[in-house]
Amino acid sequence: MGMKGILRVVPKEEYLLPGNPSCPGCPASLGLRYLLKALGGKAILVIPASCTSIIVGPYPFSSLRVPVLNIAFAAAASTAAGISEALKVKGKEGIQVVVWAGDGGTADIGLQALSGAAERNSDILYVCYDNEAYMNTGIQRSSLTPYGAWTTTTPKGKVEEKKNLPMIVAEHKVPYVATASVGYPIDLILKVRKAIKYRGFKYIHLHAPCPYGWRFPANKTVEVAKLAVKTGIWVLYEIENGKFRLTSLSSSLIDPSKRLPVNKYLKLQGRFKHLSEEDISRIQERVNTMWDELMRLVKES
């Protein structure tokens, strides 16, 4: 799209400051950088225990140019809902309260607070950056770790499937739910801007490939993120007031022949290197079935 096209969507202003403690090639850094650009820095971040608790910086310094509240694992969504109510009482407009939580803080430990805030339709934006395991504590599996993936607690590969969290949140009938990927920043930024136009509960599920935890070189973060979308393993979509729509590259992948074979994505990552041919064809089959279901959603909307 070229420099002009990029700058039309992505502001030059930076809110994530360089020299922070994130690992080289960190997807959380990428996601935070895009999120805060999209919000123009007009946000209060609530961050439960996660890698980002480290990235925001060692006291007395912060690496973010927005207020951040570090909070206990289970409490992110309820805390954000409280801050949002407080801002309303104080008559402060135009400041978005945002939860920025990992997959563990969202799908496992934070799920009840998330579900509660969604059901009450609290006026917050919840962003889950999904690196598919507990990376900060040493790569333990979460309910968002995909089938077959190695982690330190699934040494032979996970035997269960990945929880379909965005659809679970969508079933709360909230105004806006979307998926995104750090490999597609323009799509992510447009979704954030669209989300904050709604009053009520907004949810964005951000796919975030982690070089350290997924065992691929740090220079491949964006490449792996893009391959997840190109193979159809990760799907970019949004659900606005119940209306489902595929976005960005995913909207051109309904025809199965347009999708790359899943192995192109899997073989780049050390966490999948033990997979047998049988495992790989099982993953491929799951992806095909998932797309059949997505087709149905596209037709219904």
Partner 1 sequence: MRVITPIAKPKEGSAGLTGKWRIFKPVINYSKCNNCGLCWLYCPEAAITLDGKNVPKIVYEYCKGCGICANECPVRAIDLIKEE
| Binding site residues, partner 1, CB under 8 A | 2-3, 6-7, 10, 12, 14, 16-27, 29-30, 33, 56-65, 185, 211, 217-223
Q: Which is nearer to partner 1, 19 or 155 (CB)?
A: 19
Q: Classify the phi-psi angles of 122: left when phi > 0, otherwise alpha if psi is within -120 to 50, otherwise beta.
A: beta
Count of C-beta atoms within a 10 Å radius of residue 102: 32
Min dist CB 56 to partner 1, Å, is 8
Give the nearest distance from C-beta 274 to partner 1 in angstroms: 25
Side-chain half-sphere CA neighbours of 212 within 13 A? 16
CB of 83 to partner 1, least distance (A): 16
Return d(Cα 188, Cα 43) in angstroms, integer: 16
Q: Which is nearer to partner 1, 13 or 160 (CB)?
A: 13
Please report how close the Cβ of residue 31 comes to partner 1 at its closest, in angstroms. Answer: 9
Which of 6, 86 has the CB closer to partner 1? Answer: 6
Are β-strands 176-181 and 237-240 bridged in parallel, bridged antiparallel, or unpaired?
antiparallel
SS3 for 160?
Answer: coil
Whichever of 24 and 242 has its CB closer to partner 1, that residue is 24
First to last CA, the chain: 29
| Cα gap 164→144, rounded to integer Å | 8
Hey, what are 59's tokens? 């006291």
Cβ–Cβ under 8 Å, residues 29 and 64 = no
Least gap, CB of 43 to partner 1 (angstroms): 14
For 188, how many CA atoms within 13 A lie in the half-sphere containing its CB?
26
Is 109 or 225 the residue whose CB approaches partner 1 more closely? 225
How many CB atoms are located within 10 Å of the residue 59 CB?
7
Closer to partner 1 at the Cβ: 16 or 275? 16
Is 62 or 121 the residue whose CB approaches partner 1 more closely? Answer: 62
Least gap, CB of 130 to partner 1 (angstroms): 16
Cα–Cα distance measured from residue 123 to residue 77, given in angstroms and rounded to the nearest whole number: 10
Q: How far is CA 76 from the centre of its chain?
A: 15
Q: Least distance from C-beta 21 to partner 1, angstroms? A: 4
The sign of the torsion formed by the CA atoms of 206, 102, 6, 201 equals: positive
Q: What is the per-residue DSSP string for 230-298?
A: HTTSS--EEEETTEEEE-GGGGG--SGGGSPPTHHHHTT-GGGTT--HHHHHHHHHHHHHHHHHHHHHH
Q: Which is nearer to partner 1, 158 or 230 (CB)?
A: 230
Amino acid at 33: R
